[in-house]
Amino acid sequence: TVTEDTAGFGKIILFGEHSVVYGYHAIAAPIGLSIRAQVTRREEAGSDLIIPGFDSADSADSDLPVRIAALITERLGIRGSGMRIEVFPNLPRASGLGASAALAVAIIRAMASCFDIPLTGREVSALAFECEQIVHGTPSGIDNTVATFGQPILFRKANGARDAEFSIVTAPHPIPIIIGITGVRSLTARTVSIVRTVWTKSPSRYDAIFEQIDGLALTGVGALERGDLAELGDLMNINHGLLNALQVSSPELEALVALARRSGALGAKLTGGGGGGAMIAIAEPDRTNAVATAMRLAGYTTYLTEISAATAPSA
């Protein structure tokens, strides 16, 4: 059986993607979509990795799961042990929803459970962070933290990033969020490098944008804690404009964001790496379905999720 504790959670970033890589605050929350894994031992040495529905032929990151699994067996001291690793992805790939971190967390937890290796949440997250470094060189650590702890968090990368600072943000009631998938796959490594390039050319210009986004994230904490949807929507709209200024939006993201706002959303923005991938919108509870329907009728895949009123974190 596949147990609950092998889940790696998918995530949305409400505020602060990209600037978080440079040490500024961001808010992220888990979504109802996750990746699970199951590991079983076998006599024959070495491991097999099975991911149903993973079309490895068509993308630049096709060998990533194998490299991630290899790093995890190495770090857990079980390299060469005979095992079969099955992954059950319930999260679109290369969509900005944190699939790579969720995959790492799921495999770490399943291997640790199969080989009776006790790991704390911090240890799971730190190892998933190392896996994220394979995925893109300079992860902030926000994706692996949410994938591990499954709670809405205010996050800030620490020096060296392994021991990031984060605190759980509690909403007074569930906050409904619509997720729209552009259908254009985009690797975070690419958009992170776009931002790195423009920032390197003109650090002070881009630091000024990061600082504004930092302010939005910090203001967002209060809005989330009050459950103030209108304020959250305003802050999301501004964050999206600033992400566009960072050159990580795309025509599809702009179309979806415009459509969501036209259909009554209080706010909409790209989420995660951008350049394609996913966007999120927030609306009054009685408008949420109308916004999602308009997006679906325009041909986009949508998911409804909510930022939950937080529960106790796992150790």
The binding site for ligand MEV (CB under 6 A) comprises 13, 17-18, 20-21, 96, 98, 139-140, 142-143, 188, 192, 272-273
Return the number of the residue (70 or 194) whose C-beta is nearest ligand MEV. 194
Which tokens belong to 10? Answer: 């998918």
- Which residues are marked as active site? 143
Return the number of the residue (47 or 140) whose C-beta is nearest ligand MEV. 140
Q: How far is the CB of 315 from ligand MEV (least distance, A)?
A: 24
Return the number of the residue (29 or 142) whose C-beta is nearest ligand MEV. 142
Angstrom distance (rounded) from CA 21 to CA 140: 5
> Would you say the C-alpha torsion 313, 219, 228, 26 has a positive or negative sign?
negative
Return the number of the residue (188 or 250) whose C-beta is nearest ligand MEV. 188
Q: How far is the CB of 12 from ligand MEV (least distance, A)?
A: 9
Q: How far is the CB of 257 from ligand MEV (least distance, A)?
A: 17
Chain centre distance of CA 210: 19
Q: How far is the CB of 273 from ligand MEV (least distance, A)?
A: 4
Q: In the bound complex, which residue of the shown chain has the CB atom lying closest to ligand MEV?
A: 140
Across the strands, what pairs with 38?
A: 86
DSSP state letters, 178-238:
EEEE-S----HHHHHHHHHHHHHH-HHHHHHHHHHHHHHHHHHHHHHHHT-HHHHHHHHHH
Cβ proximity of 11 and 31 under 8 Å: yes
Which tokens belong to 278? Answer: 């996913």
Which tokens belong to 232? Answer: 């959250």
